Amino acid sequence: MLIVCSHCKKSYEIPDDRLRKLRSDINFPCPACKGNIKINIDAASINPVVPSEPSSQAEEVLLTGEALKKKILRTVGDLPPMPQVAQKARKVTGDEHSSFKDLADVIETDQAIATRVLKLANSSYYGQAGKVTSIQQASVVLGMKALNEILMMACAGSMVGSELEGYRLQSGDLWLHSLATAGCARMIAEEKKPALADDAFSAGLIHDCGKLILNQYIAERNTQFDELLEDGQKTFLEAEKELLGFDHALIAAEVCAKWQIPFNLIIPIKQHHNPGMSSGNELVNIVHVADSIALMSGIGAGRDGMMYVMDDRALESLGLDSDQVGEYIGRTAEYVSKTASAF
């Protein structure tokens, strides 16, 4: 018998012989979203049961505000995680006593990630096409800093490469936007706050992971979002807060804490749309400006792309003017074009 979850639409085939052994209706949690699925035994003996679609009004009451947030955090283990190899590698590169072999040993624990790292290391962007045959060789030839950057891109690419119906992002759009923000954030940091360059790249790469988390809930409310945004008076961020009770930046910060992402990266993830709330945190200002520049360049903009405004105080804090912003737009587009080709 075919069972379909009314919440996430995942379908499951349950053998009829198992159902015949049941004597009463049963409820069980959906393996994908943990929502409740009910099987009616009387109906099951005749036809497959497809649970009815809950009304949008009932869904809103059940899945908004704290109730929705608690559900997300409770099921965080089912969300696309930042691979553990990236977290371990970050610790290795942060240890001055670590060797190239230590980093290579960490990367090689994940075959899929190791393969992507080698592919990137051999791309024309890094000037080593066809020369790098092992992770340890990549460490020596490129250096730990470049290898860690490649590793972060490989891990993030596996996390943010899917299509997001709620945000109207095609497959790969969020990845390109994340790459643009990361590259631009590093450029700005290298020129304005060199000590923050590595963290700026990392924070920029995962700043929008909250969209992965909220996508299904926004897709369920597409009509409501369209109606709320129709007159152009509200930003998409405001619509998220009104219809869900929080925005993608806030839920991303809470989930990243569970992923054990370093706290100094969680702050810019949480405040990248509201740098004024971060008490002058320069990493927040850098990621905010880089995110805005990536959106202005049109890279992976999606449904909400042009609904945000760059904070003048963040620009002023970094000593940037409109001419420099224009230069970063061009440099960011060039960086994405060269880097993305390696994928």
pLDDT higher at 276 or 109: 276
Mean pLDDT throughout 275-282?
Answer: 91
Among 306, 318, 274, 310, residue whose Cα is nearest residue 292 = 310
Three-class SS of residue 53? Answer: coil
The domain spans of the chain are 1-53, 56-80+162-343, 81-161
The pLDDT-based confidence of 325 (bands split at 50, 70, 90) is: very high
| pLDDT score, position 281 | 94
178-210 pLDDT tens trace: 889 999 999 999 999 999 998 898 889 889 888
User: Which CATH number is 56-80+162-343 given?
Assistant: 1.10.3210.10
| pLDDT score, position 326 | 93
In the chain, pLDDT over 70 holds for what percent of residues?
72
The pLDDT-based confidence of 62 (bands split at 50, 70, 90) is: very low
| pLDDT score, position 46 | 38
Q: The pTM is what?
A: 0.68
CB 270 within 8 A of CB 250: yes
Residue 224 has pLDDT above 80, yes or no: yes
CB 317 within 8 A of CB 280: yes
CA distance 96 to 38: 55
Q: Are strands 2-4 and 36-39 parallel, antiparallel or unpaired?
A: unpaired
Q: What's the farthest any 2 CA atoms get from each other in the chain? A: 73
Per-residue 3-state assignment (H helix, E strand, C coil) for 291-319? HHHHHHCCCCCCCCCCCCCCCHHHHHHHC
| pLDDT score, position 113 | 72
E strand or H helix that includes residue 26: strand 26-29
